[in-house]
Every structure is written in C-alpha cells, then in structure tokens.
Amino acid sequence: MNCVFCRIVKKELPAHTVFENDHWLAFLDIKPVNLGHTLLVPKTHYDNLLDLPTNLATKALPLIQKIAAGVQGGTGAAGFNLGLNNGAAAGQLINHVHFHIIPRLLGDGHRHWHGRTIPSDEELAAVEKKILSALESAERTG
C-alpha cells in the first residue's frame, strides 16, 4: 500500500508529530489552512469514517478535544475548526480517515462555507423521511 499517512505512521516519511499513542497519531499538516493545522489519523488504515471500527471511533473525540486544546493554546488561536472529509465528493484527498484540527484567528481571511438557499419545508420533510428510512434500514441489518 502506498498510503502517505500509513508511511508517516511507519516513520517512512517525516512528520512533525504532536501526539502519539498505540492507536492514533497526530501531526502537522504540510499544507495548512493556518499554521498549527493538525491531522489525527488512526495508525491502522481505514479508508474513511464509515470504515473506522466503533471502538476506535469512540476514542477519537476525547483525543480530538485534548489535541485541539493543545493546538489552540500553542498557536494562540481564538478558536478552531474540526473537519473530516469523507469521500472524494467531500474533498477527501487521501483515502485514510483523518480529522483536521484547524486553528482559527479572528480576521484570518478564511471563510466558513456558504449555505444553499433555504429549502422549503416540503424539501426538508422529504429528505428527513429518506434519512430516517436509511437509519431504520441500517438498524435492521446492523
């Protein structure tokens, strides 16, 4: 496998590591939105969030909180964005699940995404029904 994140985990490629334990590695992004932009990756390869086993997924949020506090404190950021791009359509460039912790400064020039026009209540009700159906189907098969 030629996954760049797997190669970083195996120490085949250099990285500026800010956190590591038996299952997770956090390192600075080499193309940061802002300096201090950090990626948290599981050490085992999983393509995306839907492939990540629940036992690892449940451990991610406490680590994200810990690392985000360090990123925010270490950079003097006023806040941070937490991101995860799941699949090419969502902008995932490396097919190894990873969380972005992006320090944000007031006036840093980066804009939050803009929303669509406000959908009608009928459109919202229709998509609500489809999502509920998919969730119920997953419960029956899962």
Residues that are catalytic:
98
Distance, CA of 104 to CA of 23 (rounded, Å):
27
Q: Is 138 helix (H, G, I), strand (E, B) or coil?
A: helix
- Please state, as a whole number, how many other Cβ atoms lie within 10 Å of the Cβ of residue 102: 22
Q: How far is the CA of 78 from the CAs of 63, 90, 120, 137, in angstroms? A: 20, 26, 35, 42
Q: How far is CA 70 from CA 5, 77, 78, 81, 142, in A?
A: 21, 10, 12, 14, 37
